[in-house]
Amino acid sequence: MIVLMIYRNHSGLELLKVAKTRFGSHFILLRRLSKCREALATTIVVRAWKDWIKSGDEHAREVAKEVAATISDEEFWDEVENIIVITKPLYYMIKFSDGEGQKMGEIYEKMDSMIGDVMNHNKRHDDYEKMKEIMVKRWEKMNIQMHCLGFALNPFFYDINYLKSPAPGGESRRAPNCDREVVQGVLDAFDKVGEDEEERRVLRRQLSKFQGKEGIFGTHAAMIDAVSMSPISWWSTYGAETPELSEIAMKVLSQPISSSSAERVWSTYSYIHNVKRNRLNSLRADKLVYIHSNISLLSRFTKVTMMDHIGSGILIPRLLILMIQQLDSKNWNGMKDMKEI
């Protein structure tokens, strides 16, 4: 507490701790630490700090020595800055995904740009390929056909000036129809949305007309408005020659995106450990989160009514015995046929 008071005399910013219930907490912590560097450096040279060290026991003096050495270590701060510039694009990508609005047509390009931004700012070039591999694998796990379809139907990404502009990471930008992964995703999406082969053929033909800027799509007004108008407004204005594709485009591009699937564990943790339950230590809280998450998963295989749940989605403990009995009696070989899976 004394050390904290000494620090506060030289800084208007508080140091932060990692929060398990908030995404990007390590980035936020390190960014604040970087902003407080000068105040920390001042703290370890003032007389009050030295007096506190002298009055402390052997353990306190060892800790103080290690803290002072860390604050004075240029390599430590270089590492902090490198982590910040690497994680900043990741952090803002999550914030973008968690924001409101119609963003389905932007997420694919944003992810590509994020990977390029990380590579641009990474000072450790030896880690370049490994980092890229990790991010690409994560994106491949997250990417769905609708992301590809939204990207391919966004008229902005066919703009000549956009394609000429340098992409983060130093690579050349490509139109969606020049990206094999996007093309395959679009074809797979058409296979799902088209009711029969004839409708799929119509969609492919109309997509070719749109991407080739044929007819009304090739007019000066359409190309100018592709940059200034929202994708939905653009399709509403210029989609008359391709009614089937236009209908799908407006439906897809109007979809929001969310990082809520990643928040499931955070929400459970906040239910277990909040201001009213702040006496739980970290290990016990983690165990309770694990138990409640598994109980919620088990509930998918039961026929319990909504009356058996509380508002937060956490099951009432008395249901656990009933659920286990029902699970034991199920034929696991036929579980794929269950409607709730």
Across the chain, which has 341 residues, the per-10-residue mean pLDDT values are 80 78 78 92 90 86 91 93 90 82 88 86 79 84 87 95 86 90 93 90 96 95 95 95 94 79 51 54 69 69 45 45 46 37 33
Q: What is the DSSP letter of 309?
A: B
Helices (H) and strands (E) in the chain, counts: 18, 0
Cα dihedral sign, 43-46-51-53: positive
3-state secondary structure of 338: coil
User: Cα(184)–Cα(186) distance, rounded to whole angstroms?
Assistant: 5
At residue 34, the pLDDT reads: 93
Spatial CA neighbour of 182 closest among 156, 145, 217, 232: 145
> What value, to the nearest 5°, has the Cα angle with vertex 100 and ends 313 and 253?
110
At residue 159, the pLDDT reads: 95
Q: What is the DSSP letter of 23?
A: T
User: Cα(293)–Cα(263) distance, rounded to whole angstroms?
Assistant: 12
pTM: 0.68
Q: Work out the widest C-alpha separation in the chain, in whole angstroms.
A: 85
At residue 325, the pLDDT reads: 46
At residue 101, the pLDDT reads: 77
CB contact set of 109 (below 8 Å; sequence gap of 6+): 151, 154, 157
User: Cα(127)–Cα(24) distance, rounded to whole angstroms?
Assistant: 21
